[in-house]
Amino acid sequence: MTAYDQPRPLARYEFSDDDPARIRGRLHEMFGPQTTVECADSSEPARYRHIRHSSTAFHVDQIDHAGDATLCLEQIRRDAVLWVHAGTVLFRCGDVTDKAAQGEVRLLRAGVGPVALQSIDSRITVVHLGAAPRDAPPDWLTPRNRAAAGVVKRTIAYVTDVLNSADTAAAEVLAGAMSDLLSAAASAVFPHHVGGEDGGSTADAFPATLRAALAYIEANASRRISLADVAAEAYATPRTVQYLFRRYLDTTPTAYLRRVRLAAARQELLTSHRSATTVTATAARWGFGHTGRFAVLYRQTYGESPHETLAR
């Protein structure tokens, strides 16, 4: 166990560097002394930026690496969901090899090792969940289908947006619920994943009605949906749905939908070129009919304007 894995309240670590020796040192601290990092020869320094949000129940790593490097781990300690926003990540474990390209998600099983992960000009998010029991499934899992992949990506986007917001007190209060939400999404999306150290699915942490409501919102965030639609899909009354969201997530269905849509809009702005979309078009695509109000909410949440994000 490294210092970064010790039980703690929600904490944030960030570093950025282009010196391979310093990068290796930080990765050793984060993943353990048996970790090795192999950098491809290049005349240009490779920029590396790493943000980790860490709590007792889960970690979220946001990594941006302009270069070609391979991270070798003796063993994966936690089930880890990997989302490739840009670039490519290659996976090697024994005779098993695979590749995750831009927009793809994978789940790497706890207990797998030794593992080599090669990152090529990539920007990725890695969510480290609780260790799950080994039942000999594949070590490197893919989602059930494209729609399922969208569910886990929107869930991760929602959680990272909460973690990156300026309201750290709210993020700490929601840490437990976010851990349950991430594990439930992984259990639903990856066919062989069973979360929780006791062998039970952590999807059971939420009532079935709430899980149905969350799944419906995640799958239909780009459509015009109402509280009545969500309640009908969950076979419950609107009042019951509101109560469950307030009790388990400390929010409302409408606020949750707005947060999911805002997260999806941000991901689109981050990954799109200005020639491919505009702020107005992206806002409208995700249910924000008034660009001005969208821009205000966006800046309050992310500390920058949507135009600044698109211009990156």
Question: Is position 194 within any domain?
Answer: no
Distance CA 252, CA 229 (A): 14
Same domain, 124 and 156: yes
Last residue of a domain, one of 127, 156, 189: 189
More confident residue, 214 or 168: 214
Same domain, 213 and 103: no
Distance CA 137, CA 276 (A): 40
Closest C-alpha among 162, 129, 2 to residue 59: 129
Instruction: Give the residue carrying structure tokens 């950025």.
Output: 16
Question: Is position 201 within any domain?
Answer: no
Same domain, 166 and 234: no
Query: Do the Cβ atoms of 64 and 100 come closer than 8 Å?
Result: no
What total number of domains does the chain contain? 2
* The pLDDT value given to residue 205: 53
Q: Which residues are registered as beta bridge partners of 63?
A: 50, 124
For 13-50, the pLDDT digits (tens) are: 888 888 878 887 877 777 776 677 777 665 555 788 88
pLDDT at 136 over 70: no
pLDDT at 229 over 90: yes
Count other C-beta atoms under 10 Å from residue 166's C-beta.
11
Helix (H, G, I), strand (E, B) or coil at 93: strand
Query: Do the Cβ atoms of 197 and 132 come closer than 8 Å?
Result: yes
Domain CATH for 267: 1.10.10.60
Question: Is position 2 within any domain?
Answer: no
Query: Do the Cβ atoms of 221 and 261 come closer than 8 Å?
Result: yes
Q: Which domain holds residue 141?
A: 11-189
Question: Is position 129 within any domain?
Answer: yes
**Running DSSP on this structure, what letter comes out for residue 188?**
H
Question: Is position 284 within any domain?
Answer: yes
Same domain, 214 and 114: no
Last residue of a domain, one of 162, 189, 216: 189
**Running DSSP on this structure, what letter comes out for residue 41?**
P
Question: Is position 269 within any domain?
Answer: yes
> Which amino acid belongs to residue 71?
L
Closest C-alpha among 176, 253, 270 to residue 213: 253
Same domain, 170 and 130: yes
Domain CATH for 110: 2.60.120.10
Last residue of a domain, one of 156, 189, 222: 189
Same domain, 169 and 269: no
Q: What does the block give as tokens for 288?
A: 């924000």
Same domain, 42 and 167: yes
| Average model confidence (pLDDT) across the chain | 80
pLDDT at 138 over 60: no
For 139-198, the pLDDT digits (tens) are: 678 887 787 888 889 889 888 888 887 677 777 777 888 888 888 888 778 765 444 444
Question: Is position 6 within any domain?
Answer: no
Same domain, 119 and 224: no
Same domain, 221 and 178: no
Question: Is position 200 within any domain?
Answer: no
Which residues have CB under 8 Å from 144's CB, separation 6+?
Answer: 189, 190, 191
Instruction: Give the residue carrying structure tokens 């695509």.
Output: 285
Same domain, 180 and 270: no
For 216-225, the pLDDT digits (tens) are: 888 888 889 9
Q: What does the block give as tokens for 169?
A: 């007190």
Same domain, 54 and 94: yes
More confident residue, 118 or 3: 118
Same domain, 180 and 59: yes
